[in-house]
């Protein structure tokens, strides 16, 4: 082998080595150029904000590309203001409406709780033990209770983030019936039971229930009462007016939903069939 050939090989070997070193340097991220000012000064994204088109798409209304079209045509509003700006960002708590209907980017959740006594029906903090403590691990979606049960009341309470279901319960014309097992401090007189059945006025306001009856096999202190109101204030109003004290109040059914297989203090997710039936009420 000649010295010239040997020199050539040595030279090639040196080039390969330089390429290898350069490749290895790039792989470790040691690029031989300086990052530009735009990359260095780029503001971090706010984790509490989301692009409007993604918000709309996550609600299940349409794809993100279709959401851009709907936004551009003025079908989407945020906190009462129509937004047509591409790339607009909203907070998760903002009120976003699509074609007039409020939408939610979270997965819809429907949780049925069998509430025990001693828990307040509120989402506010600083109120002691609340029903939100009992369903804290049920879902990552921000669910809220529909209606109220007093701290010393018990029974079924439905939680959801689905405004359509909430509207169904709070609709003054239709509503969803709830059945209560009530125990009074004394026997309910038949004349008072009939008065409740017929409806009566308290301070000029009509007080009416769906149904009321004595409970078979129990004393006249125990009655079943069905209402469509979302709270239980009307029940207290009825019996305070008629000079009875409510000693025990238990919501035993909401529409077709019952406490079967839900121990006191426990919850369950509604099945598809239960949800579909609820929507048809």
Mean pLDDT for the stretch of residues 181-189: 98
pLDDT greater than 60 at residue 221: yes
Is beta strand 246-254 parallel, antiparallel or unpaired with respect to 154-160?
A: parallel
Q: For residue 122, what are its two tokens? A: 């509120």
Is residue 140 exposed (0-12), middle (13-18) or buried (19+ Cβ within 10 Å)?
exposed
Q: What are phi and psi of 10, to 5 degrees?
A: -65, -40
In which element (H, E) is residue 257 found?
strand 257-258
Mean pLDDT for the stretch of residues 106-131: 93
pLDDT greater than 70 at residue 141: yes
Beta bridge partners of 226: 179, 211
* C-alpha to C-alpha distance for 193 and 221, rounded to whole angstroms: 11
For 164: left if phi > 0, alpha if psi spans -120 to 50, otherwise beta; the answer is alpha
pLDDT greater than 70 at residue 254: yes
Mean pLDDT for the stretch of residues 120-143: 92
What percent of the chain lies above the pLDDT cut of 90? 62
* C-alpha to C-alpha distance for 89 and 208, rounded to whole angstroms: 47
Residue 18 has a pLDDT of 53
Residue 102 has a pLDDT of 87
Of 49 and 213, the one with more pLDDT: 213
Q: Which of 25-34, 93-102, 118-127, 182-191 has the lowest mean pLDDT?
A: 25-34
Please answer whether residues 247 and 184 qualify as being in contact, where contact means their C-beta atoms are separated by less than 8 angstroms: yes
* C-alpha to C-alpha distance for 61 and 67, rounded to whole angstroms: 8
Residue 15 has a pLDDT of 46
pLDDT greater than 50 at residue 64: yes
6 falls in which pLDDT band (50, 70, 90)?
A: very low
pLDDT digit string, tens, across residues 156-173: 999 999 888 998 898 767
Of 263 and 25, the one with more pLDDT: 263
77-81, 160-164, 174-178 — which one is most confidently predicted on average? 77-81
pLDDT digit string, tens, across residues 264-276: 999 999 999 999 9
- SS3 label, residue 247: strand
Residue 45 has a pLDDT of 65
Residue 251 has a pLDDT of 97
Kindly list the distances between the CA atom of residue 118 and the CA atoms of 68, 134, 138, 149, 152, in Å, as whole numbers in the listed order.
48, 11, 20, 11, 6
Residue 182 has a pLDDT of 98
Residue 36 has a pLDDT of 52
Kindly report the pTM of this predicted structure. Answer: 0.71
Q: What mean pLDDT is reported for the chain?
A: 86
For residue 80, what is the DSSP state? T
Residue 246 has a pLDDT of 97
* C-alpha to C-alpha distance for 156 and 170, rounded to whole angstroms: 17
Give the angle 96-99-105 at the CA atoms, nearest 5°: 35
For 79: left if phi > 0, alpha if psi spans -120 to 50, otherwise beta; the answer is left
Residue 43 has a pLDDT of 54
Beta bridge partners of 8: none
* C-alpha to C-alpha distance for 212 and 227, rounded to whole angstroms: 9
Q: What are phi and psi of 157, to 5 degrees?
A: -145, 125
């Amino acid at each position: 082998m000649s010295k010239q050939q040997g020199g050539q090989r040595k030279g090639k070997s040196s080039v390969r080595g330089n390429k290898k070193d350069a490749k290895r340097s790039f792989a470790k991220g040691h690029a031989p150029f300086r990052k530009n000012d735009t990359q260095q000064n780029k503001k971090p994204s706010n984790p509490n904000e989301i692009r409007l088109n993604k918000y709309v798409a996550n609600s299940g209304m349409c794809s993100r590309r279709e959401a851009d079209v709907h936004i551009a045509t003025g079908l989407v509003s945020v906190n009462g203001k129509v937004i047509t700006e591409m790339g607009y960002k909203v907070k998760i708590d903002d009120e976003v409406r699509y074609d007039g209907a409020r939408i939610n980017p979270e997965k819809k959740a429907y949780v049925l709780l069998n509430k025990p006594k001693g828990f307040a029906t509120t989402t506010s903090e600083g109120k002691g033990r609340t029903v939100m403590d009992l369903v804290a691990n049920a879902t990552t979606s921000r669910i809220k209770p529909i209606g109220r049960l007093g701290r010393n009341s018990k029974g079924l309470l439905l939680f959801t983030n689905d405004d359509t279901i909430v509207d169904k319960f709070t609709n003054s014309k239709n509503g969803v019936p709830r059945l209560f097992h009530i125990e009074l401090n004394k026997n309910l007189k038949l004349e008072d039971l009939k008065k409740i059945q017929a409806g009566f006025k308290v301070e000029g306001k009509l007080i009416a229930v769906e149904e009321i009856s004595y409970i078979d096999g129990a004393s006249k202190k125990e009655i079943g009462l069905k209402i469509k109101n979302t709270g239980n204030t009307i029940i207290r109003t009825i019996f305070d007016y008629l000079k009875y004290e409510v000693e025990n109040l238990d919501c035993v059914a909401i529409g077709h939903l019952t406490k079967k297989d839900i121990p006191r203090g426990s919850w369950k997710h509604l099945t598809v069939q239960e949800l579909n039936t609820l929507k048809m009420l």
